Amino acid sequence: MVGHLSAVDPNAYDTVSFSVDDSRFEVVTSDDGIKLKLKNGIALDYEANETHQVNVTVTGTDNAGLSIDQIFTLNVTNEVDDNVAPTAITLDNDNIEVTENNKGAVVGHLTVTDPNDPDGIASYTYSVDDPRFTVDDTQLKLKSDHALNYEATETVNVTVTATDQWGLSKDQLFTINVLNEDEGDVNVAPNAITLDTNVITENVPGFVVGTLTVYDINDPERDDPYTIYSVNDSRFEVNGAELKLKSDHALDYEATENHTVEVTVTAIDEGGLSKEQTFTINVLDDQNVAPTEITLDNNDVTENNRSGAVVGNLTVTDPNDLEGNDTYLYTVDDPRIEVNYGQLQLKYG
């Protein structure tokens, strides 16, 4: 069966009968409608027809004898007994090259060589191993939001895979030359922002997360003093190039389900072009533990020494205070001795 026939007649109550001009075909009526089909015992030969198409004219005639002719072009598909994979993929671009900074640039048109498709009319499914590229119809091109950078790499290797309708495929490697663009004074947007650390301790207002670095073609030395930063999370700010919490804000480990915070930083160059970068910051649990040791740098005191004489300096070892900046409250079990400002001394009087 080729398909079901139907007719549109302004006379809604008329019935329409159909006939076909090609004696190999017939029109039959059954419970599921009116069908155009090949007669029993008749088949078409893909190889016998140069264009692999057949034109048939179907005539629809109503009750009053009025009729309309409609030509249908039928595509004859090849019945493949032994399908084989495509053998080659070529590009029509003799010099496979793309100019840098050109988003969506077209590399060229692909052609597939396939023993099962000598006329080149079959369709194929394409994929590319480099996510910056896509195949649109048969056109290998960069995606609309991607461009290449000559300064980053002068050549790019991409593998294109063409898969036929039976699932057999061919991989083809293409080397694309990236052409340098004389950028001169043309400003382009920054292309990346990095953060040297991504952890933050809870309950610390003003905590410095890390240092930001902006990569910009117009600023290869990365010393542009005109870079302006903004942060989408109002709890954060950028001071100089440091991403940090504002002085009146701290994070709470228990308040974040995954113990992470996503922050998007925008860097704007002198020409007003910008780059956004999202960073996932891990929030660390503040597990305070007790000091582990107290040491005294002197444990001798002369008898009859004056009141208030200093015995020595105390030092506290604390896992939570590796830099020794915390303050501590001291008590002494001997009522004759006290601690003042980290010094063990005799009480006055």
Predicted TM-score (pTM) of this structure? 0.35
Tens-place pLDDT, residues 118-132: 888 889 999 999 999
What's the rounded mean pLDDT across residues 133-157? 93
pLDDT of residue 136: 93
Closest CA to 36 of 69, 1, 67: 1
pLDDT band at 81 (very low <50, low <70, confident <90, very high): low
Question: Residue 194 above 80 pLDDT?
Answer: yes
pLDDT of residue 282: 92
Question: Residue 73 above 90 pLDDT?
Answer: no
Alpha carbon distance, N-terminus to C-terminus of the chain: 118
- What CA–CA distance (Å, rounded) separates 245 from 243? 7
pLDDT band at 210 (very low <50, low <70, confident <90, very high): very high
Question: Residue 184 above 60 pLDDT?
Answer: no
Tens-place pLDDT, residues 268-312: 888 788 899 999 999 988 766 678 899 989 888 877 777 778 888
Question: Residue 176 above 90 pLDDT?
Answer: yes
Closest CA to 115 of 81, 75, 87, 77: 87
CATH topology of domain 192-284: Immunoglobulin-like (2.60.40)
DSSP 31: T
- What CA–CA distance (Å, rounded) separates 102 from 148? 7
- What CA–CA distance (Å, rounded) separates 345 from 336? 9
- What CA–CA distance (Å, rounded) separates 302 from 328? 27
Closest CA to 53 of 24, 78, 35, 34: 78
pLDDT of residue 289: 67
Closest CA to 315 of 335, 298, 294: 294
Is the domain 3-75 a CATH 2.60.40.60 member?
yes
Number of CB atoms found within 10 A of residue 111's CB: 13
Question: Residue 90 above 90 pLDDT?
Answer: yes
pLDDT of residue 225: 63
- What CA–CA distance (Å, rounded) separates 220 from 79? 60
pLDDT of residue 224: 65
**Collapsing DSSP states into helix, strand and coil, what is residue 253?**
helix
In the chain, the percentage of residues whose pLDDT exceeds 90 is 35
Greater confidence, 32 or 54? Answer: 32
- If you average pLDDT over every residue of the chain, what do you get? 85
pLDDT of residue 222: 66
CATH assignment of 88-179, given 2.30.110.10, 2.60.40.60, 3.40.50.12780, 2.40.50.100?
2.60.40.60
Greater confidence, 305 or 203? Answer: 203
Tens-place pLDDT, residues 20-44: 888 888 989 888 888 888 899 888 8
- CATH 2.60.40.60 positions along the chain are 3-75, 88-179, 192-284
Number of CB atoms found within 10 A of residue 36's CB: 20
Greater confidence, 142 or 53? Answer: 142
